[in-house]
């Protein structure tokens, strides 16, 4: 396998940060993993990279970037109600979504147009518009970089949570996912919990939306709200939506009429990080080439020449003001390297 040296990562991350990696190996065949790992010195730092749409590089990387490019989408089993689809970890996520839409397999249409790879989807249990990966996840396979062996994980072992999984915690950068299998429904399964999707269906007077209409509506909403990383560097939401106690929620609600909260099973309330950031006056604010996006304060953007450190500094200042104004500590959603 070819290992490139001293390579710029600018085109490998959607923030467009121009740092260098000492080595970069593109893995397109899972049978080559053992060869790659055994060629590395034990103390070589490793970072597994998919599409780089949830990663902020803040400095040159003095190790090896393993860029996952394993392809292939296959139906591996089915019954009357469900189909099991196995996808290579390097497949572009939206390509997989399009495959399922074409075949009328329900389950990931609400996750249309999320950038990145299939292999990264379980890492933070991607979610949008009322759906999360964990609801359709069946199993995944990968390579344990410490034990040098292949291993499979079923749902119960993945410890999925809100933008969380075991792969973002104890297995972070120690387990290379090579394929993911999803269990999708062959029968219509509309998820209309997100009000703007419902509103759009009503506006268009669609009585029985098809899977492709749902996907199209979601793509249009996303395009109207989020910056396209091909035109403006960004990595989507920079922070997670915080969960606060009922007491704190009620006291904030008293002060701010427009605060919305969603109660979870532990009686905590998830509130919008974007709302908090906006209330602190950051929406649309720009320092040098870093800014909080004018249509969605939670998305930080790179107007061209921002460094990873510039973006991190900007984010830290946002975090500080939210803490000062609301006594809430925002937690980063993205991976900072």
Ligand X SMILES: Cc1cc2nc3c(=O)[nH]c(=O)nc-3n(C[C@H](O)[C@H](O)[C@H](O)COP(=O)(O)OP(=O)(O)OC[C@H]3O[C@@H](n4cnc5c(N)ncnc54)[C@H](O)[C@@H]3O)c2cc1C
- What minimum distance in Å lies between the beta carbon of 229 and ligand X? 5
d(CA 115, CA 177): 17
Looking at beta carbons only, is 65 or 211 nearer to ligand X? 65
Q: Does 119 bind ligand X (CB under 6 A)?
A: yes
Q: Which is nearer to ligand X, 87 or 307 (CB)?
A: 87
| Catalytic residue flag (residue 78) | no
Residue closer to ligand X (CB basis): 62 or 327: 62
Closer residue to ligand X (CB): 52 or 107: 52
Helix, coil or strand: residue 286:
strand
235 binds ligand X (CB under 6 A): yes
In DSSP terms, 59 is beta-bridged to: none
- From the number of C-beta atoms within 10 Å of its C-beta (0-12, 13-18, 19+), residue 130 rates as middle
Task: Calculate helix-pair angle for 211-225, 93-102, nearest 10 degrees.
Answer: 150
Please tell me whether residue 126 binds ligand X under the rule CB under 6 A. yes
State phi, psi for 229 to the nearest 5 degrees: -60, -20
Identify the residue among 96, 101, 114, 291 touching ligand X (CB under 6 A).
114
Reported residue count of the chain is 337
Indicate if 223 belongs to the active site. Answer: no
Q: For residue 203, indicate whether it is catalytic.
A: no
Evaluated on CA atoms 161, 163, 167, 169, the torsion sign reads negative
How big is the site for ligand X, counted in residues (CB under 6 A)? Answer: 35
Closest CA to 46 of 61, 68, 26, 31: 61
Site string for ligand X, 62-101 (x = CB under 6 A): ------x--------------------x------------
Q: How many CB atoms lie within 10 A of CB 294?
A: 13
Interface residues with ligand X (CB under 6 A) are 14, 47-55, 68, 89, 114-117, 119-121, 123-124, 126-128, 167, 173, 175-177, 226, 229, 234-236, 335
């Amino acid at each position: 396998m070819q290992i490139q040296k001293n390579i710029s990562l600018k085109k490998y991350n959607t923030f467009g940060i121009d740092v260098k990696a000492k080595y970069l190996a593109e893995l397109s065949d899972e049978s080559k993993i053992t060869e790659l790992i055994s060629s590395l010195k034990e103390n070589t730092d490793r970072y597994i990279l998919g599409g780089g749409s949830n990663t902020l590089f803040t400095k040159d990387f003095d190790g090896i970037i393993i860029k996952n490019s394993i392809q292939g989408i296959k139906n591996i089993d089915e019954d009357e109600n469900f189909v099991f689809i196995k996808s290579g970890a390097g497949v572009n996520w939206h390509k997989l979504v399009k495959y399922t839409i074409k075949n009328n397999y329900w389950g990931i249409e609400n996750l249309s147009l999320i950038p990145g790879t299939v292999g990264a989807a379980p890492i933070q249990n991607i979610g949008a518009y009322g759906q999360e990966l964990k609801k359709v996840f069946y199993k995944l396979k990968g390579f344990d970089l410490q034990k040098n062996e292949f291993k499979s994980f079923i749902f119960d072992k993945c410890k999925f949570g809100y933008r969380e999984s075991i792969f973002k915690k104890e297995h972070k950068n120690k387990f290379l996912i090579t394929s993911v299998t999803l269990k999708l429904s062959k029968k219509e399964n509309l998820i209309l919990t997100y009000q703007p999707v419902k509103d759009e269906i009503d506006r268009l007077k669609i009585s029985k939306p098809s899977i492709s209409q749902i996907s199209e509506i979601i793509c249009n909403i996303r395009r109207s709200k989020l910056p396209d990383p091909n035109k403006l560097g960004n990595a989507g939401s920079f922070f997670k939506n915080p969960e606060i106690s009922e007491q704190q929620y009620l006291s904030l609600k008293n002060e701010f009429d427009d605060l919305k909260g969603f109660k979870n099973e532990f009686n905590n309330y998830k509130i919008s990080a974007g709302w908090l950031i906006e209330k602190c006056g950051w929406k649309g604010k720009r320092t040098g080439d870093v800014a909080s996006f004018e249509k969605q304060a939670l998305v930080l953007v790179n107007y061209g020449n921002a460094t990873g450190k510039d973006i991190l500094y900007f984010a830290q200042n946002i975090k500080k003001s939210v803490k000062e104004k609301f006594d809430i500590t925002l937690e980063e959603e993205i991976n900072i390297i």
